[in-house]
Chains A and B, each alone.
Chain A
């Protein structure tokens, strides 16, 4: 079954500390994975996608097929990074439908 798991409901770090938000997936084919972010009182928006291999707002995510993981990392957290983060998996050949994880709330303290 296709599934996305984010094991942490809440992650709390201090400003300047490294951050890693965990995402594990279950998918038999070649996965396409994404991170979405929702800041307070804003709409959910795409943060990054693994096929682009990009760094957005200092965040990176590497697809590890051996560990079926797509963890989101940032070396030095900022207070403005506080938000809800969702990992998502594209259901191949199903017209664009995404499976979302449960979400992790990141709180960056001053």
Chain B
């Protein structure tokens, strides 16, 4: 069974902390994505990576950065967490030549206090 695995299901962090969210996929997919999911707002793209060390900003990149040193791993970094970054974070991946069907991780619910 193919998988996208997010390392933590729940995280609680303090304002100002540096936070790392990890995502690993075992499908050899080129594309990986980080979205945040908020009620009433749907899913909004934070960052996108189409290859190792390659990244593009999504619609809401402010306050976030990403790292993709290996094909299977895509990390989302909150440099200085703030309360408005409390959200559900979803990682997804797909093959570059696919018809956009994503495989999603189970999500990380981050609470910043």
A residues near B, CB below 8 A? 4, 6, 9, 32, 34, 36, 42-46, 49, 51, 86, 90, 95-103
Q: List the A side residues contacting B27 at CB < 8 Å.
A: none
Complex-state Cα separation, A86 to B42, whole angstroms: 8
Take A32-B100, A43-B106, A49-B101 as given contacts and tell me if A97 and B42 are in contact as well, using a CB distance cutoff of 8 Å: no
* B48 A97 Cβ-Cβ under 8 A: yes
Q: List the B side residues contacting A44 at CB < 8 Å.
A: 43, 90, 92, 102, 104
* A96 B42 Cβ-Cβ under 8 A: no
**In the assembled complex, B33 has its CB within 8 A of some CB on chain A:** yes
Q: List the B side residues contacting A103 at CB < 8 Å.
A: 39-40, 42-43
Cross-interface CB contact of B104 among A4, A45, A95, A99, cutoff 8 Å: A45
Starting from the known contacts A46-B101, A49-B99, 7 additional A-B residue pairs (CB-CB under 8 Å) come to A34-B100, A42-B106, A43-B106, A45-B104, A49-B100, A49-B101, A97-B58
Interface residues of B in 96-111 (CB under 8 A from A): 96, 98-102, 104-107
10 nearest A-B pairs in the assembled complex, by CB-CB distance: A100-B43, A102-B42, A44-B104, A100-B42, A43-B106, A90-B100, A46-B101, A96-B31, A43-B104, A103-B42
* A102 B94 Cβ-Cβ under 8 A: no
Complex-state Cα separation, A44 to B36, whole angstroms: 13
Q: List the B side residues contacting A102 at CB < 8 Å.
A: 40-42
Q: List the B side residues contacting A98 at CB < 8 Å.
A: 45, 100, 102
